[in-house]
Structure 1
């Protein structure tokens, strides 16, 4: 299964505007990828188009911890 990439900047944007629907969708997709044997990467993109991997999850527990941290600020 392919890896799933979460754009950290978009997650932060959705937190600021309280877009729970988009956040739920991202975490549901990430969970499906992990259950299917893939990995989830957190990526931060710069204005110049470059990006770097901030973190990577290969377990549901790690994803759940990240999800809880994101929802904590809503």
Structure 2
């Protein structure tokens, strides 16, 4: 099964600078993985360099809800 990992720290950074093109690209890649039967994972990096996975999506409906929440703040 394919997996696509999204770093939410980067997503928040792109939100702050309103980099919609990069957000669109990331979400399109994630959507392709989901359509192909894969999984999308959300991770957050810690200051010490470690990261932890706090959410994962295996269906388009849940992922679309997350995407809408990200764009809501633009």
Query: What TM-score do you get using the length of structure 1 for normalisation?
Result: 0.97
Match of 1:50 in 2: 50
| 1:35-74 pair list within 5 angstroms | 35-74=35-74
Q: How does 1:11-26 map to 2 (within 5 A)?
A: 11-26=11-26
Unmatched runs of 5 consecutive residues or more in structure 1: none
Instruction: State the Cα distance separating 1:24 from its structure 2 match.
Output: 0.1
Per-residue deviation, 1:46: 1.0
Unaligned runs of 5+ in 2: none
Report the aligned-residue RMSD: 0.7
Partner of 2:31: 31
Aligned residues: 74
